[in-house]
């Protein structure tokens, strides 16, 4: 009896030692994994993206930032390094140099203006770090300085704005237009201006009587519209604003001036933020040309493809719609995401 008991005790102890050792291996492989991930650096298992954002000048910009932070910030495959340049190109250049020094895997850049990027992009290229442009383009001789542009066709947006305004007001009407331009030097401003002019030049009875930058902000848009009303008040038939925030500022200025926005003065703007849909529903604006800011998923996919050594398209275009009048705005508002 005692012998059997001893044998049982020995077998039990042997089994215990066996399970402890193997259990320890799975833990160690777990800790191994953790160890390897910490040894190889969690960051090496992640795709590290350095994103230089322009700032927070508009509802559109905020929506873009949220889309990118949500998509990359919540996905364990990525590590997002984010920098807000407060509208200053020099801050963006500093941020890019910092990302290069940190050896990120991919740089994402929303360039505040089109020019002045060659040097820092050459530094990124020399470091073997691909650069993806987001939502605005740049003007460079050497297109190999960036890998891809994820964003809209602003010329088409400008053309659609003019086409819809002419449809709304009649191709034979005499229409005096004031234009609220975006940030001076920004591709979104330059191309939206070009696109609108492409169509207007075919209709000489449509005239742009004043055009000035409102820097894509609500406050500056209001300020510039106040000046237009002071100089040309009753003579203004329509406003073309390069973004909704400036249009919303103009709406305030027109009301304070004593005229009815959306009726006395028709309004067309670009972006498609919720506030402009509400303004159209309230009869205070007329035409919305959508510009999609929700670029997070496209950026994430592009970064992942580049990290895997895949080729990506030079221009990853975003699809967009146009909304005209109260009914279309009411139908669309419930599904708007920004």
Give the residues lining the site for ligand GZL (CB under 6 A): 57-58, 60-61, 135-136, 151-152, 188, 216, 243, 245, 270-271, 291
- Nearest distance, CB of residue 255 and ligand GZL, angstroms: 22
Nearer to ligand GZL, 130 or 151 (CB): 151
Q: Are 268 and 161 in contact (CB under 8 A)?
A: yes
Measured CA distances, 123 to 117, 138, 330 (Å): 10, 16, 49
- Nearest distance, CB of residue 175 and ligand GZL, angstroms: 23
Nearer to ligand GZL, 242 or 304 (CB): 242
Burial of 277 (0-12, 13-18, 19+ CB in 10 A): buried
Compute the residue count for the chain.
338
Core vs surface per residue 50-71: b (16+ CB within 10 A) or e: bbbbbbebbbbbbbbbbbbeeb
Report d(CA 291, CA 282) in Å as an integer.
21
Nearer to ligand GZL, 168 or 294 (CB): 294
Nearer to ligand GZL, 220 or 304 (CB): 220
- Nearest distance, CB of residue 265 and ligand GZL, angstroms: 21
Nearer to ligand GZL, 61 or 220 (CB): 61
Using only C-alpha atoms, what is the Rg of the chain? 28
- Nearest distance, CB of residue 321 and ligand GZL, angstroms: 15
β-pair partners for 150:
134, 316
Q: What are the phi and psi torsion angles at 289 (to 5°)?
A: -105, 115
- Nearest distance, CB of residue 267 and ligand GZL, angstroms: 15
Report d(CA 270, CA 60) in Å as an integer.
10
Q: What are the phi and psi torsion angles at 254 (to 5°)?
A: -65, -40
Nearer to ligand GZL, 135 or 179 (CB): 135
β-pair partners for 108:
51, 132
- Nearest distance, CB of residue 203 and ligand GZL, angstroms: 24
- Nearest distance, CB of residue 183 and ligand GZL, angstroms: 7
Residue 17 is encoded by which pair of tokens?
């030692």
Q: Are 90 and 146 in contact (CB under 8 A)?
A: no
Report d(CA 38, CA 20) in Å as an integer.
25
Nearer to ligand GZL, 60 or 196 (CB): 60
Nearer to ligand GZL, 180 or 329 (CB): 180
- Nearest distance, CB of residue 182 and ligand GZL, angstroms: 6
Residue 173 is encoded by which pair of tokens?
């009407």
């Amino acid at each position: 009896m005692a012998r059997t008991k001893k044998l049982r005790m020995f077998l039990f102890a042997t089994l215990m030692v066996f399970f402890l050792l193997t259990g320890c291996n799975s833990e160690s492989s777990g800790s191994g994994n953790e160890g390897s991930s910490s040894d190889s650096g969690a960051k090496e298992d992640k795709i590290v993206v350095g994103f230089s954002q322009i700032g927070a000048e508009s509802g559109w910009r905020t929506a873009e930032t949220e889309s990118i932070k949500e998509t990359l910030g919540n996905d364990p495959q990525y590590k997002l390094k984010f920098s807000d340049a407060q509208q200053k190109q020099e801050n963006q250049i500093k941020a890019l140099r910092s990302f290069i020094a940190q050896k990120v895997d991919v740089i994402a850049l929303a360039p505040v203006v089109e020019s002045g990027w060659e040097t820092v992009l050459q530094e990124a290229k020399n470091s073997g770090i691909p650069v993806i442009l987001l939502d605005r383009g740049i003007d460079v001789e050497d297109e190999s300085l960036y890998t891809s542009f994820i964003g809209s066709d602003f010329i088409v947006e400008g053309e659609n704005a003019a086409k819809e305004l002419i449809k709304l007001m009649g191709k034979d009407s005499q229409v005096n237009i004031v234009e609220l331009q975006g940030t001076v030097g920004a591709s979104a401003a330059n191309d939206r201006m070009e696109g609108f002019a492409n169509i207007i030049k075919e209709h000489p009875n449509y005239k742009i009587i004043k055009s000035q930058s409102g820097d894509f902000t609500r406050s500056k848009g209001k300020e510039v519209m106040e000046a237009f009303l002071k100089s040309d008040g009753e003579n203004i038939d329509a406003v073309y604003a390069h973004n909704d925030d400036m249009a919303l500022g103009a709406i305030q200025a027109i009301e304070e001036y004593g005229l009815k926005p959306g009726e006395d003065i028709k309004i067309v703007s670009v972006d498609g933020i919720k506030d402009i849909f509400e303004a159209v529903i309230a009869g205070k604006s007329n035409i919305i040309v959508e510009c999609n800011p929700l670029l997070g998923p496209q950026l994430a996919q592009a970064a992942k493809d580049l990290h895997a050594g895949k080729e990506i398209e030079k221009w990853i275009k975003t699809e967009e719609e146009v909304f005209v009048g109260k009914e279309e705005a009411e139908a669309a508002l419930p599904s708007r995401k920004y």
